[in-house]
Amino acid sequence: MRPRLVWNVFRGFWARQHVVPGRRHLSCSNLPLEELFARGGPLRTFLERQVGSEAQLQVRRPELVAVAKLLSDKEQELQETQHLLHDENEDLRKLAENEITSCEKEIAQLKHQIILLLVPSEETDKNDLILEVTAGVGGQEAMLFTSEIFDMYQQYAAFKRWHFETLEYFPSEIGGLRHASASIGGSEAYKHMKFEGGVHRVQRVPKTEKQGRIHTSTMTVAILPQPSEVNLVINPKDLRIDTKRASGAGGQHVNTTDSAVRVVHLPTGIVSECQQERSQLKNKEMAMKKLRAKLYSLQLEKETSKRYNARKIQIGTKGRSEKIRTYNFPQDRVTDHRINKSLHDLETFMQGEYLLDELVQSLKDYANYESLVEIISKKV
């Protein structure tokens, strides 16, 4: 099957599932997958080749072959059980109904397992990350919104039981936020957060607006995976480290000692600064953590740009210019434009718990399907 046809099949059933706003949870386990898994369909053909080609089992994932066989057996069982729905015995018909419900649930779970087995994990999925937020268009209102988004992610980290450490915090005069960064670490933190990078737009009436007019403001989120010592090695000779006094509204502790640290990576010109702490040593550690994340992201961009350029959902390693999400307060709605999914109850969403996690899961599901379509297109 040609790649374009495979993609059209995929896009069709996904679009039908994501045009209705609301709190409905959409995950791989309850998405209708009939079109991809249909007999003669692209995914079914691919799976049948995996199961039927005994000579190639050594180079296939044993788990995939096993689950594909289980799926085939369970579907056969479902088909046989459905014939009992027409039996004259009422008790047997009720028993068949219960068995069919159980079979359908198991089939959905097996399809979910197949998708997870087919889609390879990214090298960075288990990494920690650096979160950066920056106010965009909209003056003080943009800075207030930036502060709210930063707080939302801090609460989301607590909800996921991740570690959250503020690295930079540059507040505005009226309680907003010009720029901030934080280190987030925990179970699959980057895997969950990697699609949050991009431009976030807010539409609402600012508190300072006397005419009641709705204003539009923006802020940018960047998500940078933190590399391990093995992933990235920095030559100390490539660094220039400067110290200075922390000053202005940026530092939480403005002082008279040379505690602020500025690190320059000479080959690339990338700069990382920190004046958050009183300790120069601590600030240097934080600045190096940010620098390593920036260099690693630059490395990943070069490696993955060709692979991801064709995808609708991009990884947010840089503060990309695409508008990914709109927070519409008059309509009490947040919309992610990449998957055309809307959720209501903005107050709850901004608390960074279940609703944000639902949207994050939907983005992960969509990204998995994009990867799946690529795999099938190449192999069928």
Q: Assess whether 47 and 88 both reside in one domain.
A: yes
Q: Assess whether 224 and 357 both reside in one domain.
A: yes
The predicted-structure confidence for 67-78, as pLDDT tens digits, reads as follows 888 988 898 899
The percent of residues above 90 in pLDDT, for the chain, comes to 38
Q: Which of 66, 98, 118 is the last residue of a domain?
A: 118
Please give the structure tokens belonging to residue 219. Answer: 């802020």
The predicted-structure confidence for 296-345, as pLDDT tens digits, reads as follows 888 877 766 655 554 556 555 444 467 999 999 999 999 999 999 999 99
Q: Assess whether 299 and 318 both reside in one domain.
A: no
Residue 159 has pLDDT above 80, yes or no: yes
Looking at residue 126, its amino acid is K
pLDDT of residue 155: 98
pLDDT of residue 18: 43
| Higher pLDDT among residues 59 and 213, named by residue | 213
Q: Assess whether 134 and 192 both reside in one domain.
A: yes
- Domain membership of residue 24 (yes or no) is no
Mean pLDDT of 198-209: 90
Count the domains in the chain: 3
Q: Assess whether 178 and 279 both reside in one domain.
A: no
pLDDT of residue 16: 41
The predicted-structure confidence for 104-130, as pLDDT tens digits, reads as follows 899 888 887 887 788 877 778 888 999
Q: Assess whether 140 and 217 both reside in one domain.
A: yes
pLDDT of residue 209: 77
Mean pLDDT of 245-271: 73
Terminal CA-CA length for the chain: 6
**Burial letters for 341-365: b for 16+ Cβ neighbours within 10 Å, e otherwise?**
bbbeebeebbbbbebbebbbebbbb
Q: Assess whether 111 and 254 both reside in one domain.
A: no
- Domain membership of residue 5 (yes or no) is no
Q: Assess whether 225 and 319 both reside in one domain.
A: yes
With a threshold of 0.75, does the pTM exceed it? no
Task: Supply the range of the domain harboring residue 157.
Answer: 129-230+311-367
pLDDT of residue 227: 83
- Domain membership of residue 376 (yes or no) is no
Per DSSP, 198 falls in state E
Mean pLDDT of 37-49: 68
CATH of the domain at 155: 3.30.70.1660
Residue 232 has pLDDT above 70, yes or no: yes
**Residue at token pair 């390693």:** 317
